[in-house]
Amino acid sequence: MEDFEKEVPQEVKLVVTEEMRSYFYDMSKWARFLSVVGFIVSAFLTLSSFGIGAAISANPAMLNQLGPLAGIGATGITIFYLLLALLFFYPSLLLLRFSAKGKQGVLFGDQETFNDAISSVKSLFKFWGILTIIFLVSYFLLILAVAVSGAGIK
């Protein structure tokens, strides 16, 4: 019988070409732009949350104009807008981290900084994935609730 030599697996090396580095550098620029826009939107939502809450508290007649949101009151609307601001702030922060570390990693060939940039992108996708699952489940439950309540009415 033949003795089969066990093959030692070779370490796989990823080759990053100059073209890929150029793409990554451009992605870093766009990520910075999107993060700044996200921070601005987050700031406006935060300011709006307190402004709308104060306006509703000062003039309760405005609450009637909000339709279904009127039930949560001024404090509830303030909290709702603050949560929206947070939903814009966190991904913007991850994009800013990706932009800064990605640009530095590409320009200086720093592997650790480049890894941190990729980690920020991973966290960003994980955040949006979890948020998407939450929305899909919420929509499913809403459709189910409407179907059940519609079936009960005859």
Does residue 144 lie within any of the structural domains?
yes
Does residue 131 lie within any of the structural domains?
yes
- Band of the pLDDT at 132, cuts 50, 70, 90? very high
User: Which range marks the domain in which residue 84 is found?
Assistant: 18-152
The predicted model scores a pTM of: 0.79
Does residue 64 lie within any of the structural domains?
yes
Query: 3-class DSSP state for residue 75?
Result: helix
Does residue 120 lie within any of the structural domains?
yes
Q: State pLDDT tens for residues 91-106.
A: 999 999 999 999 999 8
Which DSSP letter does residue 8 get? P
Does residue 115 lie within any of the structural domains?
yes
Q: Domains in the chain: how many in total?
A: 1
Q: State pLDDT tens for residues 9-53.
A: 677 777 778 898 899 999 999 999 999 999 999 999 999 998 888
Decide if 152 contacts 145 (C-beta within 8 A). Answer: no
